[in-house]
Structure 1
Amino acid sequence: MVAKEDKALAGGEGAGGGSVALGKGAWDCDKNVEIPPEKEAEVFEEIATMEFPFEGIPTVPPRKDMDHMTFFCGGCRYRLTAYPDWTSAKVKQALWNGGIARSNKPAHKMHTPGLKSWEDLTLIYAAQAMEDHKQLKDYHVPPGCSVMIAIETAKLLSGKPDPDSAYWN
């Protein structure tokens, strides 16, 4: 795999827009399908361009797609059409209907009950767990936010990992 990564990076691919996939992939909740690794950078607008260069170096320009938000759950990115005036419950239902339950580990490896319904999810933004009845804008979530967490509530309540653990960094 290293040779493939080196080849991809040498060919201008990789971190900015190629065949090297990091993490556990990406999922489009609107279509309930996997986002192919080779399309992730394009879909999440992570391709460096010369639109706003820094000392002659290409940079990733500001996002233009303000209709989609990104949630991290179980090492995977989930893309979803969502807006700041939506309640946390509405977003969790859309994530559930879009396939976020696929983040469950096999039953024999689970230390928690797993995701059985949308109510088993907690959304986190800026270290704040969101209440179901509140809108995302109540937590200052901007349009097109790409840094939210969706986590199984039982994992938060278990106390593991420790709140001071590097896991949360």
Structure 2
Amino acid sequence: MSKPANEKALVAGEEGGGGGGSVSLGKGAWDCDTNTEIPPEREAIVFEEIATMDFPFEGIPTVPPRKDMDHMAFYCGGCRYRVTAYPDWTAGRVKQALFKGGIARSNKPEHIRNTPGILKWEDLELIYAGQRMADDKQLADYHVPPGCQCLIAIERAKLILGKPDPDSAYWN
């Protein structure tokens, strides 16, 4: 499939995209293919989220169907990670691409985290439609469509911890 001309992510700090270091909750995007930040002003373009009048709904612009089926988006630690991936790839292969591309940057500093962090690709767990994906199974086995934008990558240790205690302040 052809790639949009404007898909290349900029290096952190260029053209006002700056900041480069930490991941903030609910903000930020990272291109794992280039291991660079996707500046906030480019996110909507890169993820094809700009509403147009190509398919209006009652005169209201809508986001047209995606054209880029070569990339998938994973949410991890409040940041969105973009990586080349296809439904015929195994979950293990996708985890390796995410890890190589910089997903470990979502780790909190050692002195404030309560888990080991993402230290190797095996520390990742991929989730789609509520299902954990086995490393040796293809994404297609979980019905992940090409160009999927709603996948989760989470540190495996966080899933092992389970729910907070019912009396925990977490529920307040």
TM-score (norm 2): 0.80
Q: 2:61 aligns with which of 51, 58, 61?
A: 58
Q: 2:144 aligns with which of 121, 141, 144?
A: 141
Give the match's secondary structure for 1:72. strand
Q: Does 1:154 align with 2:148?
A: no
Shift of 1:22: 8.4
Query: What are the equivalent positions in structure 2 for 1:37-52 lying under 5 Å apart?
Result: 37-52=40-55
Query: What are the equivalent positions in structure 2 for 1:61-76 lying under 5 Å apart?
Result: 61-76=64-79
Give the match's secondary structure for 1:90. helix
1:40-88 superposed Cα distances (whole Å, 9 cap, x missing partner):
0000000000000011110111111100000000000000000000000
1:67-122 superposed Cα distances (whole Å, 9 cap, x missing partner):
00000000000000000000000000000000000000011110111111000000
Alignment partners' CA distance in 1, 2:141 and 2:75: 20
- 1:34 is matched with which residue? 37
Q: Percent identity?
A: 76
User: How many residues were matched structurally?
Assistant: 144
Q: Does 1:100 align with 2:84?
A: no
Gaps of 5+ in 1: 1-18
Alignment partners' CA distance in 2, 1:57 and 1:99: 38
Alignment partners' CA distance in 2, 1:28 and 1:144: 14
Alignment partners' CA distance in 2, 1:151 and 1:27: 15
Q: Which runs of 4+ in 1 moved over 4 A?
A: none
Alignment partners' CA distance in 1, 2:164 and 2:31: 28
Code of the aligned partner of 1:80: V
Structure 1 residues 74 and 22, CA gap change in structure 2 (3 angstroms): closer
Q: RMSD over aligned Cα, in angstroms?
A: 1.8
TM-score (norm 1): 0.82
Structure 1 residues 140 and 48, CA gap change in structure 2 (3 angstroms): same
Alignment partners' CA distance in 2, 1:61 and 1:53: 9
Is the contact between residue 30 and residue 38 of structure 2 (CA under 8 Å) also seen in structure 1?
A: yes
Gaps of 5+ in 2: 1-16, 18-23
- 2:3 is matched with which residue? none
Alignment partners' CA distance in 2, 1:102 and 1:153: 15
